[in-house]
Chain A
Amino acid sequence: MTIDMSQFFQVFFDETEELLAEMEKLLLAIDVSAPDEEDLNAIFRAAHSIKGGAGTFGLTDLTDVTHVLESLLDKIRKGEMALLPEHVDAFLVAKDVLKMQLDGHRLHTPVDQEAIVDARMLLESLSKGGVPKALPAASLDVAPRKETQAHVAAGSGARQFRIELPQIADRDVDALMAELGLLGQISKEMLPDNRAVFTLSCNGGADDIIAICSFILDPNDLKITEEAAQCQTTDADEKAAQEAAQGYGFFDNFQTHEQMVADKAAKEAAQGYGFFDNFETHEMKEAKAGASQPATPAQEVPQAQNPGTPAAVEKKPAARREVDKGAHNSETTSIRVGIEKVDQLINLVGELVITQAMIEQRTNTLDPMIHERLLNSVSQLTRNTRDLQEAVMSIRMIPMDYVFSRFPRMVRDLAGKLGKRIEFVTHGAATELDKGLIERIVDPLTHLVRNSIDHGIEMPDVRREAGKNETGRLSLSAGHQGGNIVIEVTDDGGGLNREKILAKAKSQGLPVTDSMPDADVWQLIFAPGFSTAEVVTDVSGRGVGMDVVKRNITAMGGAVDIRSAKGFGTTISISLPLTLAILDGMSIKVGSEIYILPLGYVVESLQPDPADVKEIAGQGRVVKVRGEYLPLIPLYKMFDIEPRFTDPSQGIVVILESEGKKAALFIDDLVGQQQVVVKNLESNYRKVAGISGATILGDGGVSLIIDVAALLRSSRQLAADESIFS
């Protein structure tokens, strides 16, 4: 399991980095006096998404910071608090801290725990309305904040050194401290034997420190160790996450303890008054130093008491190189390439395939005896082209498993946290989906699954009372349905509460009536800021998730549909258009034209008996198939084609099913079955009734893909119109 997670970690890191960048951009652009509500929402969503992702991967340190950040953002977003420049500053600090934590996880760069604690403290104090309190002491309040930023600046990419001085005059110690302070963040501790110890975090190396110190004392008397504490903590975090996955979790406790100490300190600080800030920072440093002590490798302690060992100094560059190497490796495992580039590649390869087919066709007429070598080369070209095409197509297509497999862990963790029992099943994990869609479906799906666990599935005792199995069932399924890819999140929980949603909508001033159809009521939960959860939990209930879900899916050109029955559960189904997808199609022929029918709609095809085709006055014809009368749709009439046959018993009827309705499509002939790459017709033309897209056939020609759902609808419409007019 731990091995499999690594690829998802990478995706999460990439995503989070993007989200952070986006957040920063929005923060920098925001107008403090009149913040745009949409921007605030966007920042909030970014924070929420990071929290969600971090939660999925068990990166608790990220979740902790984002949670505090989110709470404050939420208050501002809801207008409970006015946005102040201090807030923006604090958010930027938090962003930097998150970036540092992220890098800590990804590149194993040192993480400045102090900066994290400071940032959280800052956010928490602001969130508790610390700002109004601090207003009289505004000038005092600014200083520590700047310092916090300095911490972060120093912290990102910083190394921490412990510098043990020989016994020298206090005046020299102070001078040295001031001098070293220019390199980065420095703090002083006194050893029992009245020697001073500096803790310096800076970007420079040991050489810089020695260079400075040599002005005052003999470098040989100096003892410098690079503190591995930061790195160790990060490793411990990850290890803890991994171990927790394996069910041990004693590292977790350790981590929690450390954080609890820090938390406590942060809370104490937050309750304090502005002018104590400076003093408390010192206190916290001590608290922090105490907390991180256990993480310091034991071997360092004897070394530290043995002044003047150059070996310790030499060790550092090697360690640093190793870190760099690690960072380098993790960066090159994948490259993010623009979709357009991949699309271009696919199109070019498509062209190549067609050209190759042409060459092959032309060489087929040549005498194999005379042109043996040419023909050999052509067949090799054929093979290479096919391989190339497969390779290029595989860049884009990823099985849904890629998304699904990140959920079991999340479901388990969340269920455990909430005290629920959930069985998680997936269907159709092999359904291939375009990479672009896969990447964009992850966030919405995460939100939906979290929602289902938090709000959908009830607690075991509630379920027992309702006469249901104590273990709830959550299923994720994917499949090609008709011309769409449908991804469904189904739970067998309590279902949506119509009354509650309506009441909430009314209180939020949305235009609703009690007589609204269910489907419209369910759509209300997609309104921004809409949540019927009584308690805002760490998991969900802020009403941000569904908003994001809807927005993301609409952006993909898809639709979200909710089916819910009180007491029986909820199914949220996301249907995505197949614009990007590969479609299993059946090519059919009418007259001289070839069309593609999406195979998902096709039930069967048959040649009807003349006796089974019946005329219904003014309603067209029906065909009797296995005792069922199905409306006959003559495609040649719909598309105004000159057909070969006008009598269904001479041609073929294809039985199609869409939206629960069946119809028989009358065509001339079946040509074959093939996978086609769907091209958008609208990019250069407009929407055509009855056509969902186009594809390029093997010979380079274009074939149109029939929009079966629309065809069946319009044929019914047609029949109705005819009956009106006749």
Chain B
Amino acid sequence: MTQTVQSIAPVNGEKTDRDITGQEYLAFTLGKEEYGIDILKVQEIRGYETVTRIANAPDFIKGVVNLRGIIVPIVDMRIKFHLGEPTYDQFTVVIILNVAGRVVGMVVDSVSDVTTLSPEQIKPAPEMGTALNTDYLIGLGTIDQRMLILVDIDKLMSSAEMGLIDKIAA
């Protein structure tokens, strides 16, 4: 039933919901909601380890960790978007992302699977209804009974809202 329409996927440049053909998404959960991000942005998935707190940083920035010699900031999406209880145990998962030339860790409740979504399966996101501003959404992906909220993680992580990147001085 899944028709994979293989066309030449855009190698770079802005991705809009129309450009994506049979892209793979990593599905993860935050509270009860299920999200999906472009698998190509994911560098690795790790367990949660002790972070070094950064003074005077917003509470959703848990701190920094040492990832093989690189200092990587860790963001807890559950705190940022008020989804679920921010608990840290051996099941807590950190998705290490490679976005906008930076490495960022993102704490989520769990990671479920990697799914391929064809453009027909992606519906435009409604104007409201999720914790995330629709600007950062690619759309809603449907697989059988599941619904994935597809996040444009590049845009989200480099947004001023996240405060991960210094505002470029004019």
Contacts and interface: CB of A to CB of B under 8 A. Distances in A.
A and B bind: yes
B49 to A, nearest CB: 9
Nearest to A354: B66
B161 interface: no
Interface in B31-69: 50-57, 63-66, 68-69
A701 interface: yes
Interface string A327-363: 0000000000000000000111011000000000000
Nearest to B165: A686
Contacts, number: 75
Contacts of A685: 54, 64, 71, 73, 164
A691 B57 CA distance: 12
Contact of A351 (B68, B72, B103, B164): B68
B113 interface: no
B144 interface: no
Interface centre among A679, A688, A702 (most CB of B within 10 A): A702
A542 B113 CA distance: 66
Contacts of A639: 55-56
B145 to A, nearest CB: 38
Contact of A640 (B50, B56, B103): B56
Interface in A660-717: 679-691, 694, 696, 700-704
B154 to A, nearest CB: 15
Nearest to B167: A686
Contact of B56 (A593, A679, A689): A689
B52 A702 contact: yes
Contact of A702 (B55, B65, B104): B65
B55 A638 contact: yes
A701 B52 contact: yes
A90 to B, nearest CB: 42
A310 B52 CA distance: 80
Q: Interface size bucket, A side?
A: 20 to 34
Contacts of A682: 166
A688 B102 contact: no
A691 B54 CA distance: 9
Nearest to B166: A686
A688 B61 CA distance: 12
B66 A688 contact: no
A595 to B, nearest CB: 9
Contacts of B166: 682, 686-687
A510 interface: no
B169 to A, nearest CB: 11
Nearest to B63: A702
A684 B71 contact: yes
Contacts of B69: 346-348, 350-351, 679, 696
Nearest to A346: B69
A212 interface: no
A641 interface: yes
B66 A700 contact: yes
B55 A691 contact: yes
B109 to A, nearest CB: 23
B55 A684 contact: no
B71 A679 contact: yes
A694 B71 contact: yes
Given A702-B66, A702-B71, A688 B55 contact: yes
B57 A688 contact: yes
Interface in A627-648: 638-641
A701 B66 contact: yes
A593 B52 contact: yes
B163 interface: yes
Contact of B55 (A346, A687, A690): A690
B131 interface: no
Contacts of B64: 681, 685, 694, 702, 704
Interface string A289-329: 00000000000000000000000000000000000000000
Contacts of A638: 55
A79 to B, nearest CB: 32
A654 B34 CA distance: 50
Given A347-B68, A702-B65, A702-B66, A684 B73 contact: yes
A683 B103 CA distance: 9
A422 B52 CA distance: 53
A714 to B, nearest CB: 11
Contacts of A350: 69
Contacts of A703: 52
Of the candidates B51, B52, B53, B66, the one having the most CB atoms from chain A within 10 angstroms of its own CB is B66
Contacts of B70: 347, 679, 683-684
Contacts of B53: 593
A346 B73 CA distance: 21
A639 B56 CA distance: 6
A639 B54 CA distance: 8
Interface in B61-105: 63-66, 68-73, 102-104
A704 B102 CA distance: 19
Given A639-B55, A682-B166, A688-B54, 13 more contacts: A346-B69, A351-B68, A641-B55, A681-B64, A683-B70, A684-B104, A685-B73, A686-B164, A686-B165, A688-B56, A689-B56, A701-B50, A701-B66
26 contacts: A347-B68, A347-B69, A348-B69, A351-B69, A640-B55, A641-B55, A681-B71, A683-B102, A684-B104, A685-B54, A685-B71, A685-B73, A685-B164, A686-B166, A688-B54, A688-B55, A688-B56, A690-B55, A696-B66, A696-B69, A700-B66, A701-B50, A702-B51, A702-B63, A702-B66, A704-B55
Interface of B: 50-57, 63-66, 68-73, 102-104, 163-166
Interface of A: 346-348, 350-351, 593, 638-641, 679-691, 694, 696, 700-704
Ranked 5 nearest A-B pairs via Cβ: A347-B69, A639-B55, A702-B52, A686-B166, A685-B73
